[in-house]
Each structure stands twice: as C-alpha cells, then as structure tokens.
A and B are shown apart, each in its own frame.
Chain A
Amino acid sequence: MTTHQSNDFVGQRFPRREDQYLLRGEGLYLDDLAEPHNTLHLAFVLSPHAHARILSIDVSEALEVPGVVAVLTGEDFVSLIKPIRPNIEMPTYLYTDRLALALDVVRFVGEQVAVVLAESKYAAHDAIELVQVEYELMPAVVSLEQAISEGSPVVHEHVAGNIAFRGEFASDDFATKHAAGKYRLRERFRHGRVSGSAMEPRGCMAVPIRGEEITFYTSTQIPHIVRTEIAKHVIGCSESALRVVVPEVGGGFGVKAQLYTEELISVALCLKYRRPIKWVQDRREDLLTNTHARDHIYEMEATFDERGVLTSLELELYTNIGAYSSSPFGGTIETTGGARQIVGPYKLPNYAYRCYAVTTNTCASGVYRGVAQPACFMAMEGIMDRIARQLNIDPLEVRLRNIVLPGDMPWVNVLGVRYDTGSYQKCLELARERSGYEDFRRRFPGSRLKDGKYHGIGIGNMVELTGTGAPGWRVRGLQAVSGIDGATIRVEPTGKVSVFVSQANAGQGHFTTFAQIAADHIGVRPEAVTVYEGDTASTPFGTGTFASRSAITGGGAVIQAAEKVSNKIRRLAAHELQVEPNDIVLQDGRARVASDPSRFVDFEKLCLLAYSLGKGALPPTEVYGLEATEYYDPPVVTVANAVHIIEVAIDAIDGRVAIENYYVVHDCGKVINPMIVDGQIHGGIAQGVGEVLMEEIVYDEHGQLINASLLDYLLPTALDVPDLSTLTIDHVETPSIDSLGGFKGVGEGGIIGSVAALTSAIYDALEGIGANVNSVPLRPSHIASLIRAARQSAPDPEATRAKQELTAAH
C-alpha cells in the first residue's frame, strides 16, 4: 500500500541531475580525490606464476629507490589482517581462505606477494620492478575440463578434486519421470570467461582523520559490506571508527561488488603508518585481478512431448571459480545461480541438477552483470531451438508452448521460486509481431545463404531475478549479504528534502531516480530533493547496488520512509489547519486542505515547529524532528522479463557476424524513468554483443593470462553495436505485486537477453549446414572454421555454387 501524493515524477523521462558536473569533468572519481600532502602510494608485486611456493623475497634493492618508505610481504600482514573467508554457509561448501598478501603459496598469476609504500606513485612503480622473488613451481590446473579430470593437480590441498562446492536438487520422482520422456535430446554448452572491465579501474584511499578514525574512499558498489568486512578482518580496526565513502564510480557491473585485498591492506597500513594510503590499479592489473565471470559447462538432457513441451530437464553444471572463493558472494553464486535460474519463464514440471564450483589456478570469479543468467539462458534457449529443430516446429512457437501463462500467475516454479507477475506471453507475441520474425521466416524458408552471407534469427526469451531480499540470499547461504536496504528521509528546516539511501550508484542515475520517487511520495518537486549515497556515516545500513536491486530495495526503503515523513507532515499540517490528516494533500512543498484547496501551509512553516525554531509549538502528541529511517526487505525475488530477437548475417568466408536487426520488448514492472531504463538496456546489449562475439579472458596451458590489455581483450566499440536504425525497444509495464512501488529491476536484462538471442541467431543461421553452435565466444575465426568444417563434411549445393561465384569474382 502506498500513499504517494502524486504521479508527477515517477514514470517521467526526467533528465539527470548528475550530468551537469559529469559533463564538465567535475565528477570526482577515486583517483581525482584530493590527496593529503603526506599520502603514501601503494604498488603491488604480482606473481607471474599460476601455482608456486614462495621461497624468498629480497626487497633490498627496492628499498634503495628514492621515495620508498617500506616494502612489505605476506609475513608482515599475518599480524595485521585475518585470512579472508567469505561468510558462506552451505552444506558441502569448502573454505578456500585467502591471505591479504600471499605467504607461502601463490595460486594464480596476479596474486599479490609484496607491496611497496612510497611518497609517489612513480617511485612505488619503480620499486616493484626491483623486488626479487624466488619461486618453486608447482603443477598448475587451468581449465575446467582439466580441473575435473582424474589426477588433476589441486589448487587447495583440502579441496579434493577441486570441487569447492556441490549442489543438487531433484523434483519429486525425477528419475522415473525423466526416463519416461517421449523425445530426448542432449547437448553440452560452453561459455567462456569474461571480465567486466568498467572504464574506471579500481582504487582506494584510506585517510586517518583523528585518533583511530579513518575515512576510507573506495570505488565500490557495496560500501556497508566492505566496511563490515574490513572491520572484521583488519586487526585493530573498529567499525565505529571506520567511515566508508564511495566517490564517483566509473562503472561497476558487479566487479566492484567484491571485497578486495587492496582494501584491507590500505586500511591496515593506514592504521600502522598513520598516513593516508592510496592505491589505483592500471588496466593490466584490472584484467589480472578483478574478479572474472562465467566460464561454465552445461551438460543437459531434456525430454519433451510431440508438441515440443518440456517434460523434464537434467543439468550438470560446472563453474570455474578460480583460485579462491571471492567475498562476499563466494564461489557458489554462479554455481547455484546457473542451476536455479535456468528454469526461466518455462513451466518445466520435472527438474534435477547437480552443480559444481570448481577451483583452478586462475583469478577468482565473482559477480558480473547477469551473474550466470546470460550463460544459463544461452543454454536453455539453445535447448528450445534444438527441440524446435528436432520436431520441425517454429522455435518461437515452441517457446510459446512452454511459457508460464497469465492465468497461471502468480506461479511457483519447480524449484519453489515465486514469480508474482509477468508478461511472457504478451512479450513473445509482441516480439513476433514487431521484430520482423515472421517476415524473416518467409524470406528464408530453406537455405540461409544469400549474397555470401548466412542469415539467422534468434530468440532470447528470459526472466531476470531481481531485487533479491534477505530470504533469497539465505537460501544461497550468503550470510554476509544482508538483502535489506535502508533510507533516511529528512525534511530540513528550510523545507528542502534530503534522502540518504544505502545504495552506491555507478552510473545508474540514482541521484535522479530516487529524487523522483521521494518527490512523488512526499509532495515536493525533485529539484527540492537531494539524494545522498555511498557514505556509511550518513546513510543507513544496506546491501548495496548489484543484481538489479536498487529500484526495488532502495526504492522500497525510500517509499517507506517517505510514507512516515509525509504522514507526519500531514499530521502537523492538520493540526495547524484544524482539519483531519486524511483531508490533507501534499504537493509542491505545500500541505493543502483537499476539501478547501485555498487553505494551505508550506512545509517550511511546519519545519519551524518540528525543529523548535520560531514561535509555534508542536502538537502535544508529536515529537521533534521531521525524518524517518526505514529498512526494506523486498520479497525473495522479483521477476522481470524480456524477449530479444536478433537477425544476423554471417559472412561465409571470414565468419564475421553483422547484426541486421535488433528487437527488444522489456517488462521491468513500474518504470521510474524510461530514459534511464533504455540506457540500461543499451548498455547491457553492448556487453552481450561483446560477450558473444569478442570478449574472452584467455589463459595459456601454464595459467598465464595472455590477453591482459585492451588491445587483446576486445571490448565493443561504437562500430560493434546495433546501430540506431536497426534497434527497437518496446516496453510493457506489469507492476510487481510483491514489491513496494511495483518496481522490478532492469540493470541486467539487456545482457541476459542479448547473449541468449545472439547465440540463438548464430545457431539458427548455421544449423542448416550442420554446424552446431553451442559455445561462446564466437569469434570470426571460430565461426569461419565451423562453416568450413560443415561444408566439407556435407557440402550444401547452394553454398558450393555461391563459393564458386565468389571465387570467380575474385
């Protein structure tokens, strides 16, 4: 139940307030913050080996560099920082503690073994070149396939077979039902490893304030989690003396929703040296040490009936979690995510999974936009496409036959997850009508080869689990991820409104969207509202910004707090105007009598009462102040949905994929700011294109990361994304009934749908020539070799003729 005063602002295409200072270059990101005069700069020595014992570290030469104050190693930190163990409680989960600096063993290329403190950044970087480390190499295990094979080296002695966690589930009587399936297909899907790669690399700065108080600036999405974890791990650090402040963040995407060793080290050294400590990484360190994502294997067996309706699904999922379980999400997040979210919008009556979190001597994995969903929907949509092929039914039709229908909602899926509202059927039908899907099928009834290109159309039919509340995180055993978010709203003495939210914006426009919500629910204009985030000294406790949660959880907390504050404003106004509180309407900073609008009182006047300024008196039943702090725990999950349909043209010779047409219909419940929603979808689509066509973190067989620069880890540019004329985004608004405000998340939908749809489109284009597309990324060389291999084994007469024509033309 909401008591919002108006609908003037939520739902409007409000231009962003952040833009003024960001466009001028006045946004202060971590490296822009003023450095106190005696700041010490950190630089780290990284292990060049994937798995090795550290025999000795000689820092003598490094100490000679002018400006170097100290060079510390793992031994120095044993008494400063406790081993990092993410707070995860799940049966079968095995801890893989990580030390702030490696002590005896390094377990991935890029693990830090020594740190230099110097008066300048340049001096620190000079010194790290001179630190001599002697290693004794140990056998390294790099790939998933290697790690799960018999006799593989292990990353941690106590983690047998490199299995750090195993989960399983089987619906009632699964084995019997699965065996009874009428039609059956098996497929193995492989998703490569990616890195979120925000444009701003990570950094942090710990500044001593007075006594033991420290203000810690860090480029993070989870200020409260980081604060608590630092207080728990850094010996001698008191949480009440630690303030975490988030500066402008240049993109997060989940990669900055982690606790990192540099953060612990910076605070620990600040306490030790009583000087400001600053650290900023470069892009190579970003790609080496910032948490990676995906790197999954999906072994699936599906059964279905003659109409293409799924009757059962069995999944064996392996996820590569790297050398250590990252904090706070741990190595289980993608493992349980992929296994549990794969059900998607489909009715699937019988389901069983076994999922494994596998350690390897590579960088730890964490959460990156979509978190398993892009990979698992790539797989599930791949199953839908294959069912369609096997039965010769249209792929979109197959999906329509499997989805949860409006009459079924609210729906509880086979895993017990509740989908409160959704528009799966409406979106699929709208997509079929508006995307040119049927026109494509008409244009390409048989062979897909035309003008030297293979044409395909793919479908990404997805749901997105957003705004996960406390119960949702408990189910996944993540005890350090609270799930609640808080908001404090205060009407200041002059009538302006301050809103403090426990979120941490990294470009999503929170300073605008939360102002819109607050304005609607308190009865002021957004211009009268200032939103504050990312400062643990002023914002209430909360979980942070990731997993498409901020609209729901931050929005919910803002709405609850706004309700309390506006109720009090109405009571004070009612007392002043001698009417009942429910006869008061709030708008534009004024409390007006609904039944007699000429009578009103300005908020500012009511504030005089609330703050004991001026001559009036508070009603005897009221207390001072005009503020409220509320915490909101959203429902277990809120389920958004979307359909992406992509038409591609693949060059038959070089394998390059061109996007000819891109259609999205998206439902994220009640929309706060459509301009920002579109922006999130655009960004997600670009990352999806990158994930499918360009991006891959590559380790060689020795565990060396061989593409640690943007020259070799390819991010999409303006030329790689669908251009304006080919992109259409439609919106459907099916408000959530479980979450306050009716909001659903949208931050990740763009990437989830695009990865599934693009893979589906490439599969669709090439399946006819016998090429089975079941893995990403799909770089041109890989697609070209798939085409060549398919043509050689079963030459398609059309293709041969076309090739002859092309060859003749050259």
Chain B
Amino acid sequence: MSSIETTTVELVVNGKRYKRQIEPRLLLADFLRHEIGLKGTHIGCAHGVCGACTVQIDDKTARSCLHFAIDVQNSEIKTVESLATPEKLHPIQQAFHESHALQCGFCTPGILMTTEEFLRGNPNPDDDEIRKALCNNMCRCTGYVNIVKAVGLAATSMSAAENE
C-alpha cells in the first residue's frame, strides 16, 4: 500500500508545545481536535462562516477551519480550554452560566473566544457594540438575547475585579 506524505509540525497551544507527524493539508481545527485531543473547538460549517471553530492565533480570533496546522507553527494558539482553571470558570464563562447564554453549547466555545478578544479591546461596551462584535458567531438556539446580556455582565464583573 502506498504511503501518505506526512511532515513534522510543532505547535504551541494553550502554552504547551506539541510535536506531531501530520499530512500537510491537515486543518488547524482537525489538529486541535484529533491530534492533541482539544475537542472544545467545534466545526459547524467547514467554510468559515459560522464561527464555531473560532480560536485565537497570537491573541487574535481566527477560524481554525480555514487554517492549516502547518501555517501556524510560529504562532501561539489559544482555545476555549485555556479559559477556565480546574477549580474555577473564567469570569466570561461564569457570566454566560448566570445569564443562561448557552443551550446546546456547540457554538459556545467560539463565542467565548470572540468575547475574550472583544472585552480585552473594549472593556466597557454598550449593547450595540456587543452585538456587532458577536455578529460573526452564529447561534441557532439562544436567539443571542442572553449572550448579549452575558457579555455585558462579564464586562462589568471583570472591570469590578480589576478595580479591587
């Protein structure tokens, strides 16, 4: 049986370095999910529209279904698994829980990554700004109402924590 061409890649994900032998065409999303077992990043459309696969590459949100793992070797990748500690949820996650901002949870990791980047740049947003920031993450369950609430709540709680 003829063999499949593979190459070695080294990726830094959530602060940890991984070295793997992969096909050059392996998508970043598939690398995260199947090579290193970080399954929180989900694939909703595989064509870059729904945002469920959103991760952060060098602190900027990106669609992991539109990147090849091999292309991001020199970058730092962050996924939803980087947010909480074993003991505690991240304030954004806590706000989502308190606001009932998730139902099936499939789109949630992508939305959390988008929210984290957004609040970093805009710690005190109004509802309009929040809706604009979220408009590239699709959710079919919640109707976005509680997600917008949760982002506002997270902003408040994170500012309060800052000021302590």
Q: Which A residues contact B (CB, under 8 angstroms)?
A: 15-16, 18-20, 22-29, 31-32, 66-67, 122-123, 197-201, 248-251, 253, 282-283, 506-509, 675-676, 678-679, 681-687, 709-711, 715, 717-719, 721, 723-725, 727, 750
Q: What is the distance, in angstroms, from B92's C-beta to the closest C-beta of chain A?
A: 9
Kindly provide the distance from the CB of A796 to the nearest chain B CB, expressed in whole angstroms: 33
- Can you pick out 17 interface pairs between chain A and chain B where the beta carbons lie within 8 Å of each other? A23-B84, A24-B93, A25-B80, A31-B43, A67-B4, A122-B25, A122-B26, A249-B104, A507-B102, A675-B100, A683-B143, A684-B143, A686-B143, A687-B140, A718-B130, A718-B132, A719-B131
Is the CB–CB distance between A723 and B106 below 8 Å? no
Give the interface SS of chain A, mostly helix, strand, loop or mixed.
loop
In angstroms, Cα B97 to Cα A20, docked, is: 8
**Smallest CB separation, A548 vs chain B (Å):** 15
Expressed in whole angstroms, the minimum distance between the Cβ of B71 and any Cβ of chain A is 17
Q: Known contacts A283-B45, A710-B47; is A16 also within 8 Å of B138 by CB?
A: no
Minimum Cβ distance to chain A for residue B95 (Å): 10
Chain B residues in the interface with A (C-beta under 8 A) = 1-4, 23, 25-26, 33, 38-47, 49-50, 52, 79-81, 83-84, 89, 93, 96-98, 100, 102-109, 112, 127-128, 130-132, 134-149
Q: Is the CB of A711 within 8 A of B148?
A: no
Contact between chains at B45 and A721 (CB < 8 Å): no
Question: Which 5 A-B pairs have CB atoms at the shortest separation, nearest pair first?
Answer: A25-B40, A250-B106, A507-B104, A22-B105, A686-B143
Q: How far is the CA of A715 from the CA of B134 in the complex (A)?
A: 14
Query: Across the interface, do B97 and A282 meet the contact criterion of CB distance under 8 Å?
Result: no
Residue of A32, A676, A721 touching B143 (CB-CB under 8 A): A721
Q: Once bound together, how far apart are the Cα atoms of A718 and B147, in whole Å? A: 9
CB atoms of A710 and B40 under 8 A apart: no
Given contacts A25-B39, A685-B143, contact A718 B148 (CB under 8 A): yes
The answer for the CA separation of A174 and B102 in the assembled complex, in Å, is 49
Bound complex: CA A686 to CA B147 (Å): 13
Chain A residues within 8 Å of B100, by CB: 15-16, 675-676, 678-679
What residues of chain B lie closer than 8 Å to A198, measured between beta carbons?
A: 104, 106, 140
Chain A: which residue is nearest B27 at the CB level? A122
Contacting residues, chain A, for B84 (C-beta < 8 A):
23-24
For B140, give its contact among A23, A24, A683, A709 (CB under 8 Å). A683
B20 to chain A, nearest CB (A): 14
Knowing A19-B96, A31-B43, A199-B138, say if A66 contacts B3 (CB, 8 Å): yes
Contact of B52 among A199, A249, A681, A721 (CB under 8 A): A199
Which B residues are in CB contact (< 8 Å) with A727? Answer: 145
Q: Once the chains bind, are B127 and A507 in contact (CB under 8 Å)?
A: no
Which of A31, A509, A724 gathers most chain B CB within 10 Å?
A724
**Contact at A199–B79, with CB atoms within 8 Å?**
no
CB within 8 Å for A682 and B146 given contacts A24-B80, A25-B41, A507-B105: yes
CB distance from A16 to the nearest CB of B (A): 7
Which residues of the partner chain A approach B134 to less than 8 Å between Cβ atoms? 717-718
* A683 contact from B1, B45, B137, B142, Cβ within 8 A: B142
